[in-house]
Homo-oligomer: A and B are copies of this chain.
Amino acid sequence: MRYVFTVQYDGTDFSGYQKQKDRRTVQGELEKAAQNVFGAPVRVCASGRTDAGVHAVGQVCHADGETNTPAEKLAARFNAALPPDVRIVKSAAAPAGFDCTRSVRRKTYVYAAYFAPTVLPLLERYAVRLAEKPSLARMREGARLLEGEHDFKAFSATGSSAKTSVRTIYSLEVSAHTLLMGELFEIRVTGNGFLYNMVRILAGELVSIGLGKGMNGIEGAFRTGERSLLAKTMPAKGLRLEKVEYDAPIFGEEE
């Protein structure tokens, strides 16, 4: 029996999703809870790994196991065994043929960065401070260049093992919210898939463009695949996996 889960976690104190020896990971915690719930070792897969420090509002996972607990009650049983920084928000029986990794159609990530005269303690956990204020209009102009189908080879960490680096970005929106003394920028990107570090590199490039860098870095990066034409990878803590979408709603009609 395959179960599907929506999982939320605060990445701050995790060494990422993927299980590692002697490290505290999201998968490690989920599998400890799964052992409790199913009474046997069970693998808990995710739609994709997230790096150390990256958060997830709505990660999607699946696990195969046998239990008498009704599928929709599994979330509560897991949660009773999980630490407070990771929670199964919803559980259900997986649709036929469902695989949380292979069946993904769209993913949405948000990158949060703020401009303020100093570190803001109430934002610092989930966003990265910028010492200078980027232009929203310029960031949006850069975002337009990234939308669509492109070879994003240059937008990935070296050593990435993906077979193809062509991806489609369906939408890339930059919003700004006024703070007491500063401004919060959110970069929201939806695509059919993302290369390793792609969102953090893309966010870094848009911030750099907002601070005055030319648009030709993006054009050159698409043409040559050269990582060095783009800005630095942004820190993990500003990134959150917002949602993962499949062909059909994984929890039936209600969504």
Q: Name A residues whose Cβ lies closer than 8 Å to a Cβ of B.
A: 6, 8-10, 55, 57-58, 75-76, 79, 84-90, 116-122, 124-126, 180-181, 240, 242-243
By beta carbon, the residue of chain B nearest A124 is: B84
Measured in the bound complex, the distance between the Cα atoms of B117 and A6 in whole Å is: 12
CA distance A118 to B81 in the complex (A): 13
CB–CB B9/A75 < 8 A: no
Given the complex, which residues of B lie within 8 Å of A89, measured CB to CB? 116-118, 120, 180-181
Contacts A116-B89, A117-B75 given; indicate if A180 touches B122 (C-beta within 8 A): no
Report the Cα distance A196→B200, complex, angstroms.
Answer: 44
Interface contact B10-A118, CB-CB below 8 Å: no
Is A121's CB under 8 angstroms from B86's CB? yes
Q: Find out whether the CB atom of A57 lies under 8 angstroms from the CB atom of B180.
A: yes
Q: Flag if A84 contacts B119 (CB, 8 Å).
A: yes
- A76, A90, A126: which has the most chain B beta carbons within 10 Å? A90
Could you jot down 21 A-B contacts, CB within 8 Å? A8-B120, A8-B121, A9-B122, A10-B125, A55-B122, A57-B122, A57-B180, A58-B181, A75-B117, A75-B118, A79-B118, A84-B119, A85-B121, A86-B121, A87-B118, A87-B121, A89-B117, A89-B180, A89-B181, A90-B117, A90-B181
State how many angstroms separate the Cβ of A78 from the closest Cβ of chain B: 9
**Residue of B at shortest CB range from A79?**
B118
Given contacts A84-B119, A87-B121, A89-B120, 6 further A-B contacts (CB under 8 A): A9-B121, A9-B122, A57-B180, A84-B124, A90-B117, A122-B126
CA distance A242 to B178 in the complex (A): 13
- Contacts A84-B124, A124-B84 given; indicate if A119 touches B180 (C-beta within 8 A): no
| Whole-angstrom CA separation of A117 from B78 in the bound complex | 13
A87 proximity list for chain B (CB < 8 A)? 118-121
Q: Is A243 a contact of B57 with CB atoms below 8 Å?
A: no
Do the beta carbons of A122 and B75 come within 8 Å of each other? no
Min CB gap A72→B, angstroms: 10
Q: B residues within 8 A CB of A116?
A: 89
How far, in whole Å, are A6 and B121 apart by their CA atoms in the complex?
A: 13
CA of A122 to CA of B54, assembled, Å: 12
Specify the chain B residue showing the minimal Cβ separation from A83: B121
Complex: chain B residue closest to A182, CB-CB: B89
CB distance from A224 to the nearest CB of B (A): 38
A118 to B75, CA, bound (A): 9
